[in-house]
Amino acid sequence: MKKGLLIVVSGPSGTGKGTVCHELLAKTPELAYSISATTRAPRAGEQDGVNYYFLTKEKFEAMIAAGEFLEHANVYGNYYGTPLGKIEERRAAGQDILLEIDIQGALNVMAKCPDGVFIFLLPPSIEELEHRLRGRGSETAESLARRMGNAKKEIGIGRRYKYVVVNDTVDKAVQDIQAILVAEHSRVAANAHLFEELEAE
């Protein structure tokens, strides 16, 4: 059986990762979502076990000590991490898994899972990125300035990813990611079993 893909989508804060991934999952029913854990407070409309596992700092640190994360990072004073759980088991069964994580976490996954499909989401412009962050209504002038400064640094890290997708419109970004998945599933290295079956006949 062909091993499932580990798809990692990340990018600077405000690029629309959550929206794009939500739409990608809605339009790609065979794709499973790996829910991340965090110690930050839920935003309006977010639900525990749906958007994130919202944990106390003490619980999160206990899970780190127990080796229960594929990756974890401290971002803006809050922990974020990917519970290891059954990710590899599901991939072994042929299930594609989507991780929507921050850049720091993605770099950690790169080191542990070099066969992952790493996709960097970019805004169409710096001006649009600032507009989207302001549109959240949750940023102070200080936090906005910090996020914008970090975004410009993080954009350079995107060169280390395998693919880049510009989130100009959500529909186009989703189509681009779906095209990447088709290409990844079509790689010769991912389809050795097809050659073996035909050669054995």
Mean pLDDT, the chain, rounded, equals: 90
Distance CA 137, CA 101 (A): 22
Tens digit of each residue's pLDDT (9 = 90 or more) over 76-87: 899 999 988 878
Three-state DSSP at 163 gives strand
Percent of the chain scoring above 70 in pLDDT:
98
Mean per-residue pLDDT, 69-75: 89
Q: Measure Cα distances from 95 to 30, 131, 177 in Å.
A: 7, 36, 17
Residue 24, both tokens: 């990608």
Q: Does residue 116 have a pLDDT over 80?
A: yes
Q: Which residues of 75-89 are buried (b: 16+ CB within 10 A; e: fewer)?
A: beeebbbbbeeebee
Tens digit of each residue's pLDDT (9 = 90 or more) over 135-169: 766 777 887 788 787 888 889 899 999 999 999 99
81 versus 175: which is more confidently predicted?
175
- Helix (H) and strand (E) counts in the chain: 8, 9
Distance CA 173, CA 142 (A): 30
What pLDDT does 137 receive? Answer: 66
Residue 176, both tokens: 């681009």
Q: Tell me which of 15-24, 109-118, 131-140, 145-154 is least confident.
A: 131-140
Mean per-residue pLDDT, 173-189: 95
What pLDDT does 169 receive? Answer: 95
Domains of the chain, first to last: 6-200 (3.40.50.300)
What pLDDT does 102 receive? Answer: 86
